[in-house]
Structure 1
Amino acid sequence: MSAGSAVAARIDPSARREHILAAAEACFVRNGFHRTTMQDLAREAAMSAGNVYRYFASKEDLVLGLAECERARGALLVAELERDGDRRAALLGIITRYFVSITRETAILRVDIWSEATRNPAIAAMTARAEAEARGWFVETFAALARSPACDPAALYALLGPLMKGIIVDRALLPGYDPAAAVAQLLALLDAGLDGRLPLASTPAETGR
């Protein structure tokens, strides 16, 4: 954080929260969620632990805060990309932002949150809400862009969703990973699906599971 931002963080409560969240992100990426203590966060933020607790009662609150910031940034990006009414450009912009340009640090943090969601009900609920929102947007966008009645937007997302997550996992686990080939495959499958050229499996809702 720049000197000017640091000054703002001392004055504006919302800026101070952002300052603490940035420190938490750096600590979680460097040390992992469980190895990071509130004292580590306080040192990273150049604040006392007591001041950190004024804004976030626990590490869980910090994770939820980070996830909410990411959700808000995503919603803002979607709104900006959809402003001119070009749904395909918006879709490609989202894919570029989240799967081509994603930094390893962001991918590591996302995988850490997914891992914590397997043990923490509050984080699991937040992750489920985020997944439902993402699925809803993608399915609606696929439906708007479908070029054939044979296109099944829900089944197309069921096919592409795991590939999207796999790109993030590989970005987190493999130093120097280049997602270009995986993203090219993603786009090829997307175009085939929109054309109705994929033998898509039935979704759970369709099979009664």
Structure 2
Amino acid sequence: MLDLAKAAAMSAGNFYRYFSSKEAIVLGLAERDRERGAAMLGELQKSGDRRAAFLGVLTQYVSALTREAAVLRLDIWSEATRNPAIAAMTESSEAEARAWFLDMFEALATSPDCDPPALHILVSRLLKGVIVDRALTPEFDPAPAVAQLLQLLEAGLGGRLPTASDASGTPPR
């Protein structure tokens, strides 16, 4: 709350003139982020190329992620471990994101071997790692993360996800 108050140039107590609780503030921030993502996707979809729009949104998300936004996301995840209302909001947000990713993966698959749920797990882990790295690493460079993400998506959509056996030397599928 103190960080938010400082960023907004107001006292922490002043927030409660606009929000009924800390949970309402967090929910408002989450909704604002969801709306930004939807607007970004809508703008990119105007081209009519769903694949380009999808890859563009992910690239922009990783590239534009500020350290402050990443720290806030870590704070929300931390608060979700203690606060049932924030945990419910986080779970709902994760479920919505999962459904969106699965829909995209199914629509954009270039191979019948594409495994949307497995691809989602890997993409989700990579994106969460990006958020943690961005929050904790002042000199964070998004370019390698974007490149990895795009390579992972191409492999996954083409049905060539790495498997646990790949680590043992078995050639990828």
Question: Is 1:42–1:52's contact at 8 Å kept on the other side of the alignment?
Answer: no
1:160 is aligned, of 104, 123, 146, to: 123
2:69 is aligned, of 106, 119, 128, to: 106
Q: How does 1:1-209 map to 2 (within 5 A)?
A: 27-28=3-4, 41=5, 44-46=8-10, 49=13, 52-200=15-163
The CA distance in 1 between the partners of 2:21 and 2:151, in whole Å, is 43
Q: TM-score, normalised by structure 1?
A: 0.71
- Change in 2 beyond 3 A, CA 1:43/1:97: closer
- Tell me which residue corresponds to 2:168: none
Give the deviation of 1:154 after TM superposition: 1.6
- Change in 2 beyond 3 A, CA 1:197/1:42: closer
Percent identity between the two aligned chains: 62
Give the deviation of 1:199 after TM superposition: 4.3
- Change in 2 beyond 3 A, CA 1:55/1:155: same
Structure 1 unaligned blocks of 5 or more: 1-23, 29-40, 202-209
Q: How many residues align?
A: 164
- Tell me which residue corresponds to 2:170: none
Question: Is 2:62–2:145's contact at 8 Å kept on the other side of the alignment?
Answer: no
Q: TM-score, normalised by structure 2?
A: 0.84
The CA distance in 1 between the partners of 2:72 and 2:12, in whole Å, is 24
Give the deviation of 1:48 after TM superposition: 9.1
The CA distance in 2 between the partners of 1:147 and 1:129, in whole Å, is 29
Report the structure number with the largest CA radius of gyration: 1
The CA distance in 1 between the partners of 2:100 and 2:77, in whole Å, is 20
The CA distance in 1 between the partners of 2:56 and 2:44, in whole Å, is 7
- Change in 2 beyond 3 A, CA 1:67/1:175: same
Alpha carbon RMSD of aligned pairs, Å?
2.3
Residue type of the alignment partner of 2:50: R
Give the deviation of 1:114 after TM superposition: 1.0
The CA distance in 2 between the partners of 1:180 and 1:77, in whole Å, is 20
Give the deviation of 1:182 after TM superposition: 2.2
Question: Is 1:155–1:200's contact at 8 Å kept on the other side of the alignment?
Answer: no
Question: Is 1:156–1:200's contact at 8 Å kept on the other side of the alignment?
Answer: no
SS in 1 for 2:97: helix
- Change in 2 beyond 3 A, CA 1:57/1:191: same
SS in 1 for 2:78: helix
Residue type of the alignment partner of 1:27: D
SS in 1 for 2:28: helix
Structure 2 unaligned blocks of 5 or more: 165-173
The CA distance in 2 between the partners of 1:177 and 1:87, in whole Å, is 29
Structure showing greater relative contact order (alpha-carbon pairs closer than 8 Å, 6 or more residues apart): 2
